[in-house]
Amino acid sequence: MTESSSPFSWAEARTWLAGLPDGGGLNLAHEAVDRHVAEGRGTRVALRLLGRDGSATAMTYGELAELTNRFAGVLTRLGVGPGDTVFVLSPRRALVHVAVLGALKARAVACPLFSAFGPEPIAQRLHIGQAAVVVTTAELYTRKLRAALAGLERLPLVLVEGDDAPEGTVALGPLLADADARYRIPETSPEDPALLHFTSGTTGLPKGALHVHEAVVTHAATGRLVLGLRDHDVYWCTADPGWVTGTSYGIVAPLVCGVTTVVDEADFDALRWYRILDEAQITVWYTAPTAIRMLMRAGPDAATGADLHRLRFAASVGEPLGADAVQWGRSALGIEFHDNWWQTETGGIMVANRPGVAVRDGSMGLPVPGITATLLRTEEDGTLCRGDDGHPIEVRDPAESGQLALQAPWPSMFRAYLGQPERYARCFEDGWYLTGDLVRRDTDGYLWFVSRVDDVIKTAGHLIGPFEVESVLNDHPAVAESAVYGVPDPVAGSVVHAAVVLRTGSGAPDAVLRSVLAHSRSLLGAAVAPRHFVVVDELPKTRSGKIMRRLLRARELGLPDGDLSTLEPSHA
């Protein structure tokens, strides 16, 4: 992959990619894996896999090519191909890489799921995405998937890692062993669907944002220009593949750039993380504010003895990274965290503090090459303000915040919300994609996050839609109504709280709340379920009947009802 010194254009970034042999089009998995083998890099380590049990194994690009070929062959033999969706519910292991990239080779759509979800969010996503296949482990099948499948009309085929499969599933091990190690990727159009990622809004069920193979152009360009990935880097993305960062920048971008990716199966642990940075000789690290705040909590002693001098570039994404965290990185670790911004729909990084460009502590940075951004004046309820000509009004005053809008299209822009064309169309206005984020822009063009325009909650970097949680709470026999909102938290950014109206005669509130908590944890999973409940007599609503979640949050924090501005995450 070579870069010229000419100004950046997407057309130029496309030339960095190989394309399928014989003019067969553009396939993301070919760019990520096979291309390196064809160009003589097959013995390079693609994945360094760290197990929960302390194990460490390596997989070369050549081995990954063979395994993904076998997986694509298995799918083809099972009649799974273009138009079918292959879900992956797995801990952070090579299984995710093999299933996602193998599915892309077979031109199926790949959709990784967050393994900390409970059965309800899993079931919703399998239903909306019309799952043809789910690839998982025996443990996750037994603990979560079996319950999730119980309510589905159309049952997917369940492929389970290894040689033993629980009843009702098929063991993947023998199928892979029988499959051909060679696979010819069929002709693939850049506009063929490739990746499906679910995200949430204030209302309604999760939305399936669909991305196409062309997205790999953004992944290649941002991998190189924003994360600064280059030959022989050892890269670590700490995000779970069940969220978009863990796929776009945990799987695709580093492989496309031909570097070695470290994949750690274990959960956060400060000592373990410093040991990985040191012993795995990480040169580029992509992490998140919640993790950085947890490292801050663990104190500088946790890093004692860890040699971090090989770390050339560190980046953060997913929630606001406060100036204090950037300054702490610099002084305590000698690391400069580069904040960047994007979302599921954008498919790739859109705004960033890039290598070689001065970091402004607390700012998300500048639009990346190839992206034009503006701010559009937006009412407090999220509606766009319009000028006399009916067009949106661009905000130019650095003191005024506006909704961040990006000029469409770009290669990794989502192409649909599955089955919701109107909702998709509502995201665009006058050629701008509306992000739903309020930001400020200083006189030098740096963007500063202010808040969301809607009520979605970012907790530990995970986006939670209040309606999805409320629906589960309302299913509890003692709950008449509920409202779910985020409350500022010094580590997780926000945590999920719920106000519930209990049905009369439902019993002692304490016992009822314990039962509601258990109900929500078992169905939603601990990562999504509310951490705290309050009982209220009624929910505050607008005249049109919409729940005023921000008001509940303000009340809980003891703020005056009208004083909502002080609650925004940048002040949290």
Q: Is 124 in the site for ligand AMP (CB under 6 A)?
A: no
Of 116-124, 264-272, 387-395, 432-440, the window that binds ligand AMP (rule: CB under 6 A) is 432-440
Judged by beta carbon, residue 66 or residue 319, the one nearer ligand AMP is 319
Contact 409, 218 (CB under 8 A): no
Q: Is 318 in the site for ligand AMP (CB under 6 A)?
A: yes
Cβ-based neighbours of 422, under 8 Å, separated by 6 or more = none
Report the candidate in 143, 125, 34, 140 with the shortest Cα–Cα distance to residue 95.
140
Q: Where are the alpha helices (DSSP H) in 394-461?
A: 421-425
What's the rounded Cα separation, in Å, for the pair 426 and 505? Answer: 43
Q: Tell me which H or E stretch contains 210.
A: strand 207-212
Cβ-based neighbours of 544, under 8 Å, separated by 6 or more = none
Judged by beta carbon, residue 374 or residue 515, the one nearer ligand AMP is 374
Contact 524, 496 (CB under 8 A): no
Judged by beta carbon, residue 188 or residue 435, the one nearer ligand AMP is 435
Judged by beta carbon, residue 185 or residue 373, the one nearer ligand AMP is 373
Single residue of 48, 441, 452, 549 touching ligand AMP by CB under 6 A: 452
Single residue of 463, 499, 528, 547 touching ligand AMP by CB under 6 A: 463
Of 139-147, 335-343, 470-478, 559-567, the window that binds ligand AMP (rule: CB under 6 A) is 335-343
- The 8-class DSSP code of residue 145 comes to I
Judged by beta carbon, residue 64 or residue 110, the one nearer ligand AMP is 110
Single residue of 319, 455, 468, 470 touching ligand AMP by CB under 6 A: 319
Q: What is the 3-state secondary structure (H, E, C) of 246-315?
A: HHHHHHHHHHHCCCEEEEECCCCCHHHHHHHHHHCCCCEEEECHHHHHHHHHHCHHHHCCCCCCCCCEEE
Single residue of 117, 183, 286, 449 touching ligand AMP by CB under 6 A: 449
Q: Build a one-symbol-per-residue string for 4-33: x at contacts with ligand AMP by CB under 6 A, - elsewhere.
A: ------------------------------
Orientation of helix 94-105 relative to helix 61-77, angle to 10°:
60
Of 47-55, 66-74, 324-332, 429-437, the window that binds ligand AMP (rule: CB under 6 A) is 429-437
Q: Is 125 in the site for ligand AMP (CB under 6 A)?
A: no
Interface residues for ligand AMP in 517-536 (CB under 6 A)? none
Of 41-49, 151-159, 316-324, 468-476, the window that binds ligand AMP (rule: CB under 6 A) is 316-324
Of 338-346, 379-387, 479-487, 550-558, the window that binds ligand AMP (rule: CB under 6 A) is 338-346
Provide the Cα torsion 276, 277, 278, 279; round to 10°. 40
Single residue of 159, 172, 262, 364 touching ligand AMP by CB under 6 A: 364
* Secondary structure of residue 452 in the 3-state scheme: strand
Single residue of 60, 90, 124, 344 touching ligand AMP by CB under 6 A: 344
Q: Where are the alpha helices (DSSP H) in 50-142?
A: 61-77, 94-105, 119-128, 138-140
Contact 341, 352 (CB under 8 A): yes
- The 8-class DSSP code of residue 62 comes to H
What's the rounded Cα separation, in Å, for the pair 404 and 441? Answer: 9
Single residue of 35, 48, 441, 458 touching ligand AMP by CB under 6 A: 458
Q: Is 363 in the site for ligand AMP (CB under 6 A)?
A: no
Cis peptide bond prior to 466, omega within 30° of 0? no
**Residue 264, Cα to own-chain centre: how many angstroms?**
17
Interface residues for ligand AMP in 241-280 (CB under 6 A)? 243-244
Q: Is 337 in the site for ligand AMP (CB under 6 A)?
A: no
Size of the site for ligand AMP (CB under 6 A): 20
Judged by beta carbon, residue 122 or residue 463, the one nearer ligand AMP is 463
Q: Is 441 in the site for ligand AMP (CB under 6 A)?
A: no
What's the rounded Cα separation, in Å, for the pair 490 and 572? Answer: 8
Tokens of 410: 């770009």
Q: Build a one-symbol-per-residue string for 192-231: x at contacts with ligand AMP by CB under 6 A, - elsewhere.
A: -------x--------------------------------
Q: Is 240 in the site for ligand AMP (CB under 6 A)?
A: no
Report the candidate in 93, 92, 98 with the shortest Cα–Cα distance to residue 179.
98
Query: What's the closest the beta carbon of residue 423 comes to ligand AMP, in angstroms?
Result: 15
Of 77-85, 294-302, 341-349, 426-434, the window that binds ligand AMP (rule: CB under 6 A) is 341-349
Positions in the binding site for ligand AMP (CB under 6 A): 199, 243-244, 317-320, 339-341, 343-344, 364, 435-437, 449, 452, 458, 463
